[in-house]
């Protein structure tokens, strides 16, 4: 009787077998790139490294999906030394006062073909705003997870509105996350 009940449970409730896979972000192989236009169209950029965090994905139940990323502002490098200094200063990120940026997902929705829409909050300078990331998992069956995501934010909504007359408000963000090879359950 117990055996029949177990077989019935497996057939009726496939989600009971689904196990979320958790991955630790590979700090050395994960980067975040910001880009924006300034002075009438000149493309500027900056990158962050030293990213830490975890990714949990369950292909059978997106309620279990979760992404948490912490970004050290001190690792910011821009296209030139003056811009790097300006971005780390109190004009923008205030790296000494606010040493980290944090993203925490609230929901990850599968869109099919390895594409996901990630809803969450981005905390910059202790200002928390909702963001939506468009993400792609390169090979969902690989041992190491490779996830590329993009979004755009308003820098003014995070209190970084200096030079508004010459620097666009829209900041494009490209994220390339690589995880360690061994998922844990």
For 103-145, the pLDDT digits (tens) are 999 999 989 888 999 999 999 999 999 999 999 988 767 778 8
The pTM (predicted TM-score) of the whole model is 0.85
Q: Are 66 and 106 in contact (CB under 8 A)?
A: no
> Is 148 exposed, middle or buried (CB count within 10 Å of its CB: 0-12, 13-18, 19+)?
middle
CA distance 181 to 184: 10
pLDDT at 182: 59
């Amino acid at each position: 009787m117990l055996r029949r009940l177990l077989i019935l449970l497996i057939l009726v409730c496939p989600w009971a077998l689904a196990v979320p896979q958790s991955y630790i972000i590979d700090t050395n192989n994960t980067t975040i790139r910001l880009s924006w236009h300034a002075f009438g169209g000149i493309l500027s950029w900056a990158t962050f490294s030293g990213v830490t965090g975890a990714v949990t994905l369950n292909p059978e139940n997106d309620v279990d999906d979760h992404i948490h990323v912490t970004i050290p502002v001190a690792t910011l490098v821009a296209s030139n030394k003056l811009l790097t200094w300006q971005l780390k200063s109190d004009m923008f990120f205030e790296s000494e006062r606010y040493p980290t940026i944090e993203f925490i997902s609230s929901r990850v929705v599968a869109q099919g073909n390895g594409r996901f829409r990630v809803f969450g909050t981005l905390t910059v300078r202790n200002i928390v705003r909702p963001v939506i990331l468009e993400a792609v998992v390169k090979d969902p069956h690989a041992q190491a997870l490779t996830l590329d995501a993009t979004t755009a934010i308003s820098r003014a909504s995070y209190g970084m509105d200096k030079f508004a007359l010459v620097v666009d408000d829209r900041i494009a963000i490209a994220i390339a996350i690589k995880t360690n090879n061994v998922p844990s359950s």
